[in-house]
Each structure stands twice: as structure tokens, then as C-alpha cells.
Amino acid sequence: MASNTVNFSSFPLPVFTGENFDLWKLKLKTYFISQKLWDIVQSGYTKPDNTITLSKEEQKKLEDCEQKDAQALFVLQQVVGETIARRIMDADTAKKAWDILEEEFEGNEKVRSVKLHYLRREFETIKMKESKTIDTMEE
């Protein structure tokens, strides 16, 4: 039987199956921050075209970025269900995978603006019947 959590350390991380993206995103972001991986997920990193000319310090920094990125990408691949994993399987960095998930489940700026406008309009047009109380409005 498949589980809906993945255990990293002693904290289970929820597996995203397509519902409640905002809550899943919050938990993953907090996890990435706690593991010092959030910067690499949010901003990514740039691999130089020519790594031969890098100093030892620059080479070490690049290796650290690559390691963090691989670790974050691994986590992302593990904490999504199979159908979601197929959507990010071509992403070769954590940032690309994260961006794919955000755009698909939150939409781009225009989509978010339209959703907000729709919700605002819906809120403004809510009317309560005299026989209903606030507690029973959903019924």
C-alpha cells in the first residue's frame, strides 16, 4: 500500500498528488529553508561555459551549488505522486522543477490576477438569506 508521506530525517514530508498545492508548497519551502536549499530552488545557479579556467575556490562553490541542486531536485522528485512526477521528469534542476509546479498549480501572474478578480467579485456578491446565520451559510 502506497504512503502519502516521505520520511526525510525524522520529519515526514507530504506527497503532493495535485490537491492543496499552497499548503504543500509552504511545507516544502520551510523544509528547503531548514536544509539551506531554498536559495538554489528559488534562484537556481549558473554553470559557467568553461569550468577549466575556474579557480579552486570557484570550482568548490560550483560543486556545492551542483550538490545542493541535486539534493533539492531529488527531494522534489520524491515528494510528488507519479502523475505529477511525469510533469517534472525533464527538469534537470530544482528551480526548473519548482517553476513547473508553481506555474501549473498556481498559474502565471495573469492567471493569478484573474483568479483573484473572480474571487473578489464572488465575495462581493455573496448575500445571506434572512433565515440563515453566518454559521449556516454554507448549508
The full DSSP string for 23-82 is HHHHHHHHHHHHTT-HHHHHH-----S--TT--HHHHHHHHHHHHHHHHHHHHHHHSB-H
Question: Model-level pTM?
Answer: 0.72
Segment 5-55, tens digit of pLDDT: 555 566 789 999 999 999 999 999 999 999 999 999 999 999 888 888 889
pLDDT tens digit sequence for 53-89 = 889 999 999 999 999 999 999 999 999 999 999 999 9
Q: Is the pLDDT of residue 106 over 50?
A: yes
